[in-house]
């Protein structure tokens, strides 16, 4: 209930009251039964509430019946999350994904909505002989859904193209994943000096951001900050955000960020793992990042207990305690990333390139750590620490120990 209240506040609501019910099974007509509906109606009238939010998903029939009995707008958890996402989306891709999820949610709920959907289109020739408003609205939504799917497929193709371009000069990719409000964006800003919005509200970051990061070994990596997960994340959102979540699914290493100060840290991390499995990232290597350790009264003991509860005793070295806010533990985190990142070891190599081969020389300076270089006539001799993949890419310029 506290999480639902936090979601409501993130959407701009002021919580006037809370009502809970325990029953053996949902009631088909109203979910909560006639007696509870009467009690809730008195609460609504007494508190002057203009919206009632249910933590449970409502069927179209239940929602209509409740609005009729309560005399006010009724939302369920999915609608609330969709509303928050709609207010957070900034890029064209984000807005398309939110609209797709909203329309998929709305489509089975059109019956009984009167002329409300007439905003979707209109004009002469939009209605066939005898066609009802409901059928017209469904047809308009279907057309809009097809258009959004086409545009998002273009986005997905573009993302795949960008990933292929990045893989031409292979760099490991790190994806920040975690429960909403776990501190991912604060950590992202701390690691990359980016200016991503870091807010205490849920889903403060919706559109993905990718930045470069240099590790202690001098390897470079790409870090992506994506939307936070939440308990019972609506299926429509997971499907709509497929293009965005592919950044997580395609990552070399997932940094699973957990709010170590939360009383629900264990269950929240379990929900994140469920979503990761749903998007095909369950087998991707993970590093557990226990954030907000500065809020703990006994960090050493509490972090170890939490690590054991989340990971079990079989994985003692795959968790790091940090505070993204203060910067405490970030050095340990970067070292841990270097140790567990299953990608591209560093090698010391020598290269002889043509003095006019600026592209290859630039690659060595940009993606490696040049130890020394010397121009001799029409050649440039360079010694550098580079990734194995970059050495392989520049193999034609590599000089063996014998100088051949």
**What's the average model confidence in pLDDT over 329-344?**
85
Please give the Cα distance from 342 to 172 (Å, whole number). 9
Query: Residue 119: inside a domain, yes or no?
Result: no
Domain membership of residue 374 (yes or no) is: yes
Give domain status of residue 141, yes or no.
Answer: no
Domain-embedded: residue 143: no
Positions of E strands within 322-390: 346-354, 369-376, 379-387
Question: At which of 63, 82, 101 does a domain end?
Answer: 82
Q: Is 117 exposed, middle or buried (0-12, 13-18, 19+ CB in 10 A)?
A: middle
When the pLDDT of each residue in the chain is averaged and rounded to a whole number, the result is: 81
- Quick one: 286 and 387 in the same domain? no
Are the C-beta atoms of 107 and 141 separated by less than 8 Å? yes
Instruction: Give the whole-angstrom CA distance, residue 148 versus residue 75.
Output: 25
φ, ψ at 196 (rounded to 5°): -70, 140
Please determine, for residue 323, whether its predicted confidence score (pLDDT) is greater than 90: yes
What's the average model confidence in pLDDT over 66-80? Answer: 91
Whole-angstrom Cα distance, residue 324 to residue 191?
9
Q: How far apart are the first and last CA of the chain?
A: 71
Are 394 and 308 in a shared domain? no
Instruction: Round to whole Å and give the CA distance between 289 and 253.
Output: 12
10 domain residue, yes or no: yes
DSSP 347: E
Pairing of strands 369-376, 379-387: antiparallel
Choose one of 34, 64, 82: the last residue of a domain: 82
Which candidate, 26, 50, 51, places its Cα nearest to that of 36?
26
CATH number at residue 13: 3.40.50.11060
Please check whether residues 306 and 350 belong to one and the same domain: no
- Same domain, yes or no, for 293 and 311? yes
DSSP, collapsed to helix, strand or coil, labels residue 287 as strand
CATH number at residue 251: 3.40.50.300
Quick one: 181 and 260 in the same domain?
yes
Contact 121, 140 (CB under 8 A): yes
Residues 73 and 215 in one domain: no
Is there a single domain that holds both residue 231 and residue 264? Answer: yes
Using the predicted structure, report yes or no on whether residue 390 has a pLDDT greater than 70: yes
Q: Which of 62, 57, 59, 60 is nearest to 81 (CA)?
A: 57
Instruction: State which residues form the domain around 352.
Output: 346-399
Is residue 191 within 8 A of residue 331, CB to CB? The reply is no
Q: Are strands 220-225 and 286-291 parallel, antiparallel or unpaired?
A: unpaired
Number of domains in the chain: 3
141-154 pLDDT, tens digit each = 888 888 988 887 88
What 8-state DSSP symbol labels residue 375? E
Confidence of residue 196 (pLDDT cuts 50, 70, 90): low
Q: Is residue 319 part of a domain?
A: yes
Tell whether 273 and 328 lie within a shared domain. yes
Write down the pLDDT at residue 194: 67
User: Torsions phi, psi of 399, nearest 5?
Assistant: -110, 125
Name the DSSP letter for residue 179.
Answer: B
For residues 176 and 187, the answer to whether their CB atoms sit within 8 Å is: yes
Predicted local confidence at residue 216, as pLDDT: 84
Look at residue 302 in the predicted model and tell me its pLDDT.
86
For residues 287 and 318, the answer to whether their CB atoms sit within 8 Å is yes
pLDDT at 19 over 60: yes
Do 317 and 392 lie in a common domain? Answer: no
- Separation between Cα atoms, residue 80 and residue 269, nearest integer Å: 22
Count other C-beta atoms under 10 Å from residue 310's C-beta. 20
Using DSSP bridges, classify how beta strands 220-225 and 209-214 pair: parallel, antiparallel or unpaired: antiparallel
- Of 114-118, 167-171, 322-326, the range with the lowest mean pLDDT is 114-118
* Residue 140 falls inside a structural domain: no
Does the residue 98 lie in any domain?
Answer: no
Nearest Cα neighbor of 302 from 286, 319, 315 is 319
Better-predicted residue by pLDDT, 368 or 90 = 368
Q: Which of 82, 117, 135 is the last residue of a domain?
A: 82
Residues 63, 209: one domain? no
Assess whether 380 and 283 both reside in one domain.
no
DSSP class of residue 187? H
User: Which structure tokens are listed for 246?
Assistant: 């592919």
Is there a single domain that holds both residue 225 and residue 283?
yes
């Amino acid at each position: 209930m506290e999480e639902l209240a936090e979601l409501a506040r993130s959407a701009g609501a002021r919580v006037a009251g809370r009502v809970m019910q325990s029953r053996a099974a949902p009631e088909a007509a109203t979910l909560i039964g006639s007696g509870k509906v009467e009690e809730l109606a008195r609460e609504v009238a007494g508190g002057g509430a203009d919206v009632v939010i249910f933590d449970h998903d409502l069927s179209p029939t239940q929602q209509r019946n409740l609005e009729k009995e309560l005399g006010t707008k009724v939302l369920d958890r999915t609608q609330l999350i969709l509303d928050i996402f709609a207010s957070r989306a900034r890029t064209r891709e984000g807005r398309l994904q939110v609209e797709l999820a909203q329309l998929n949610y709305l489509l089975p709920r059109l019956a009984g909505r009167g002329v409300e959907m007439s905003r979707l289109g209109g004009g002469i020739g939009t209605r066939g002989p005898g066609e009802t408003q409901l059928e017209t609205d469904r047809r308009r939504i279907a057309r809009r859904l097809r258009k959004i799917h086409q545009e998002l497929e273009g986005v997905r193709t573009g993302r795949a193209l960008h990933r292929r371009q990045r893989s031409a000069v292979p760099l490991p990719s790190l994806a920040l994943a975690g429960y909403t409000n776990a501190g991912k964006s604060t950590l992202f800003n701390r690691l990359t000096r980016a200016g991503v919005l870091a807010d205490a509200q849920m889903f403060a970051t919706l559109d993905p951001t990718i930045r470069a990061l240099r590790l202690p070994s001098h390897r470079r990596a790409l870090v992506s900050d994506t939307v936070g997960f939440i308990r019972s994340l609506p299926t429509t959102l997971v499907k709509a955000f497929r293009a965005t979540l592919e950044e997580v699914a395609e990552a070399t290493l997932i940094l699973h960020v957990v709010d170590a100060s939360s009383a629900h840290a264990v269950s929240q991390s379990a929900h994140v793992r469920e979503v990761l499995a749903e998007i095909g990232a369950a087998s991707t290597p993970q590093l557990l990042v226990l954030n907000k350790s500065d809020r703990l009264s006994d960090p050493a003991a509490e972090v170890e207990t939490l690590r054991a509860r989340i990971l079990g005793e079989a994985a003692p070295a795959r968790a790091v305690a940090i505070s993204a806010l203060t910067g405490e533990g970030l050095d340990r985190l970067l070292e841990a990333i270097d140790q567990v990142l299953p990608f591209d070891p560093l090698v010391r190599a020598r290269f002889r390139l043509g003095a006019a081969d600026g592209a290859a020389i630039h690659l060595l300076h940009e993606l490696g750590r040049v130890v020394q270089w010397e121009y001799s006539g029409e050649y440039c001799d360079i010694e550098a620490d580079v990734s194995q993949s970059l050495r392989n890419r520049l193999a034609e310029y590599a000089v063996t120990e014998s100088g051949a």
